[in-house]
Amino acid sequence: MAAHDDASSIGFGIIGCAAMTSKFCRAVSFLSLAKVTVRAVGSRSLDKAKEFTKRNRLPPSVMVYGSYEQVLEDDGVDAVYLPLPTRLHLEWAVLAAERKKHVLLEKPVAVDVAELDLILEACRSNGVQFMDGTMWLHHPRTRKIEDIMSDPHHFGQLDLVHSTSTFAANKEFFENNIRVKPELDVLGALGDLGWYSIGAILWAAGYKLPSSVKALPDVVRNSAGVILSCSATLYWEKPQQEGGNKQPITIATFHCSFLASLSMDLEIIGSNGSVRVKDLAIPVDEDTASIEFTPRAKFAELHIGWDTKPEKVSVPTELPQEALMIREFTDIVRRAKISNGEDRAESKWPEISPKTQVVLDSVKRSIDNGCTTVHTLNV
Amino acid sequence: MAAHDDASSIGFGIIGCAAMTSKFCRAVSFLSLAKVTVRAVGSRSLDKAKEFTKRNRLPPSVMVYGSYEQVLEDDGVDAVYLPLPTRLHLEWAVLAAERKKHVLLEKPVAVDVAELDLILEACRSNGVQFMDGTMWLHHPRTRKIEDIMSDPHHFGQLDLVHSTSTFAANKEFFENNIRVKPELDVLGALGDLGWYSIGAILWAAGYKLPSSVKALPDVVRNSAGVILSCSATLYWEKPQQEGGNKQPITIATFHCSFLASLSMDLEIIGSNGSVRVKDLAIPVDEDTASIEFTPRAKFAELHIGWDTKPEKVSVPTELPQEALMIREFTDIVRRAKISNGEDRAESKWPEISPKTQVVLDSVKRSIDNGCTTVHTLNV
């Protein structure tokens, strides 16, 4: 029986041989016991697809196609991985869904939430699972931070979230990368890096949408108008509580940039404790990631130190975070496949992606309007 | 010869027995070899002054006064330490300067920069040294960060500064502390904690004043109108450079609050490296303080980690930072005393305090005006 005939095995079709696709293939290689394989690789150029297959040492059983269409026509393909430039997501994600292929879509998922809604509707109406490629959500560290934040005694009420997602791109990137080409990816650093910061802030806020967002004026664009660096604040209005001492508004701030040295800070301050991560989206080490947790610290007597030291919590991971993401995705796909569609798609993933996209759109609108306040729910 | 007759010894007069005064006395006790002593303690109540002297085990040689005036009249007092409520700073700092006493003034130094200017003018015209009580500036860690930031290869151009200064005050604080009483300290958390954040941001920016500041809308006041929590952004406009890829504006953000768990984060991101400190104003440990420094990090191949790990730089200190501050202050005072005023006051300290105050005033004005943009140079 061929792998693709076994209902419990999941064959991936790759649509586009972007740089990140090699990372995807490596992650799949960790999942052979979970019966997840790369079934097909498609590029607009057959030579490029062949070269990719060879360079990534994919087995000879992998189908190699010189078009994206052929990947979607392959009955052995259960799900597609789509690392295409953002502007191509709508077309190919919808086509994949219509061919009943489950969709693992790289971030930023769409040019705007209207396009994303079309993709999600295509997935929904065709009964296929949607998931965006935000890997860190699948790292066990993320669960650990959720545990910490759910402890009223050691963390408490959310006070502030601050996130940075930056790296210093080189000359080659600024000249050739798809992320700075408006015809391929209109969102630039906001889409590529801001996606992480906005997603992290929303996750920390329990996916409650902010009331409004406001870009800060440190926006940099390249000559083609693509955002290379920007910052924004997000506000959540809260009902004023009795006594007047409670915070009627919670804020979050973020900064994303192709023009600064590598940083992936996430700082979450609560009323009783705080959590810091320095490498959110891509941990420094692959096998373990750390959290700095400071529960209930006070100044020592005379204010000559702290009575509680920030503690380092290390969270090992059995698999790289992208393999965990693919495993989670394919577990859902497998249930759907085995049950012949009776087992419904997991609603969490198609629900959180548009929230991130709505806030991202709002920040972009604020930037385009000269850093005005944009009410998120009006987008 | 009495201590105060020895020109090289410096006698401090304490004006007010606030909680922080005990910390001051402890710091002075580290400086006996440097011939720095507490000469006199003054309170509005003689009993309170006596009780303070006893509780802090000050030697019997210390003069104990039931008024502030008597401290200023004591010829053995070379310099005063003023931990009074902010609203009393103008009166007592000016009186001290007029009595030719050097002035070590607790932060926040004044209600506004107009008052501070009067204090500084009194110090200048009377030839006495002024220094504010910002202790962290004197910690050797601060020099180490300056060294790191001056390295163009491993740090580069400043991209972003973010600072938090928060602690969770208790019920007793909200009911009785001078920092939440408008008749004593009108600046609340902005003066007490924001002073640290604003000072740190200015220090990181080489004391270049921002072009403008803007408070964020998460302002909380108590029923008497005192600020308990607030945030702001600071902007530096830069001349647009050729090519359009350079950042025309640098931003900094800060959050200060009596309503959140203890945090003293300072994050400084440069074009080539970044620096983080988690305990800026009061280090977790008294004898050593750490910096997290990340020079020239890039993603590892395939983006499965970082090629450079953030490194922890530990900076030991021979003395507590407040003792280093007092030693630096009294070294200047001693030079002035020995030279009979020929050796001029150190201009650095009276120059940086009003810069912090101007930005603080601007943030307060922004808050009072409903979070409008305030151009710093117009304050």
∠B75-B78-B81 over CA atoms, to 5°? 120
Substitution target in A149, A245, A309, A319 with the highest count of B β-carbons within 10 Å is A245
Residue B379 has a pLDDT of 45
Give the count of alpha carbons within 13 A of A350, CB side only: 21
- For the purposes of burial, counting CB atoms within 10 Å of the CB of B334, is it exposed (0-12), middle (13-18) or buried (19 or more)? buried
Residues A59 and A124 occupy one common structural domain:
yes
Asked if residue A354 belongs to a domain, the reply is no
Partners of B276 on chain A (C-beta within 8 Å) are 265, 278
Question: How far apart, in whole angstroms, are the C-alpha atoms of residue A282 and residue B79?
Answer: 54
- A245, B320: Cβ pair inside 8 Å? no
Closest CA to A340 of A86, A51, A127, A119: A127
pLDDT tens for residues B103-156?
A: 999 999 999 999 999 999 999 999 999 999 999 999 999 999 999 999 999 999
Asked if residue A209 belongs to a domain, the reply is yes
Partners of B246 on chain A (C-beta within 8 Å) are 220, 259
Residue B245 has a pLDDT of 54
Residues B148 and B233 occupy one common structural domain:
yes
| Contact in structure between B46 and B64 (CB atoms under 8 Å) | yes
Asked if residue B89 belongs to a domain, the reply is yes
Which residue is closest to A295 within chain B, CA to CA? Answer: B261
pLDDT tens for residues B333-352?
A: 999 998 887 777 789 999 99
Asked if residue A379 belongs to a domain, the reply is no
Look at residue B378 and tell me whether its pLDDT is greater than 70.
no
Type and span of the H or E element at B309: none
Query: Total domain count for chain B?
Result: 2
**A246 Cβ contact list (under 8 Å, min separation 6):** A238, A240, B220, B259
DSSP code of B153?
T
Partners of A228 on chain B (C-beta within 8 Å) are 245
Residues B115 and B188 occupy one common structural domain:
no
Type and span of the H or E element at B218: none
Give the other-Cβ count within 10 Å of A45's Cβ: 12
| Contact in structure between A349 and A102 (CB atoms under 8 Å) | no
- Six-digit token pair at B331? 């070294």
Asked if residue B352 belongs to a domain, the reply is no
Question: SS3 for A164-230, per residue?
Answer: EEEEECCHHHHHHCHHHCCCCCCCHHHHHCHHHHHHHHHHHCCCCCCCEEEECCCCEECCCCCEEEE
Residue A376 has a pLDDT of 82
Partners of B302 on chain A (C-beta within 8 Å) are 22-23, 26
- B228, A245: Cβ pair inside 8 Å? yes
Asked if residue B378 belongs to a domain, the reply is no
Average pLDDT value for residue range B275-300: 97
Residue B210 has a pLDDT of 96
Residue A346 has a pLDDT of 87
ipTM above 0.90, yes or no: yes
Residues A122 and A164 occupy one common structural domain:
no
At residue B3 the predicted structure's pLDDT band, cuts being 50, 70 and 90, is very low
Question: How far apart, in whole angstroms, are the C-alpha atoms of residue B320 and residue B325?
Answer: 9
CATH code for the domain in which residue B53 is found: 3.40.50.720
Closest CA to B255 of B204, B196, B207, B169: B196
Average pLDDT value for residue range B302-309: 96
Residue B260 has a pLDDT of 97
Partners of A149 on chain B (C-beta within 8 Å) are none
- A278, B278: Cβ pair inside 8 Å? no
**A–B CB contacts, 8 A cutoff, strictly below:** 227
Substitution target in A25, A55, A261 with the highest count of B β-carbons within 10 Å is A261
Asked if residue A29 belongs to a domain, the reply is yes
The residue type of B118 is L
Of B23, B245, B298, the CB nearest to A302: B23
Residues B126 and B273 occupy one common structural domain:
no
Low-confidence ranges of chain A (pLDDT < 70): 1-5, 239-248, 377-379
- A22, B217: Cβ pair inside 8 Å? no
| Contact in structure between B63 and B74 (CB atoms under 8 Å) | yes
CATH code for the domain in which residue A155 is found: 3.30.360.10
Question: How far apart, in whole angstroms, are the C-alpha atoms of residue B63 and residue B50?
Answer: 9
Q: How far is A204 from chain B (nearest CA, A)?
A: 16
Which residue is closest to A221 within chain B, CA to CA? Answer: B245
Residue A249 has a pLDDT of 84
Which domain, by its residues, includes A47?
Answer: 3-134+321-345
Partners of A305 on chain B (C-beta within 8 Å) are 282-286
Residues A117 and A160 occupy one common structural domain:
no
Substitution target in B160, B165, B367 with the highest count of A β-carbons within 10 Å is B160
- For chain B, percent of residues with pLDDT exceeding 90: 88
Residues A312 and A331 occupy one common structural domain:
no
Residues B228 and B369 occupy one common structural domain:
yes
Which residue is closest to B157 within chain A, CA to CA? Answer: A260
Residues B303 and B329 occupy one common structural domain:
no
Mean pLDDT score across all residues of chain B: 94
- B231, A160: Cβ pair inside 8 Å? yes
Closest CA to B317 of B103, B106, B27, B37: B27
Look at residue B204 and tell me whether its pLDDT is greater than 60.
yes
CA distances (Å), A293 to each of A21, A53, B167, in order? Answer: 34, 43, 15
Residues B366 and B331 occupy one common structural domain:
no
Asked if residue B342 belongs to a domain, the reply is yes
Question: How far apart, in whole angstroms, are the C-alpha atoms of residue B127 and residue B142?
Answer: 28
The residue type of A31 is L
Partners of B272 on chain A (C-beta within 8 Å) are 168, 261
Look at residue B240 and tell me whether its pLDDT is greater than 70.
no
Q: How far is B132 from chain A (nearest CA, A)?
A: 18
Look at residue B353 and tell me whether its pLDDT is greater than 80.
yes
- For chain B, percent of residues with pLDDT exceeding 70: 95
A3 in helix, strand or coil?
A: helix
Residues A7 and A107 occupy one common structural domain:
yes
Residue A345 has a pLDDT of 78
The CA-based diameter of chain A, rounded to the nearest angstrom, is: 74
pLDDT tens for residues B210-227?
A: 999 999 999 999 999 999
Residue B241 has a pLDDT of 59
Residues A158 and A97 occupy one common structural domain:
no
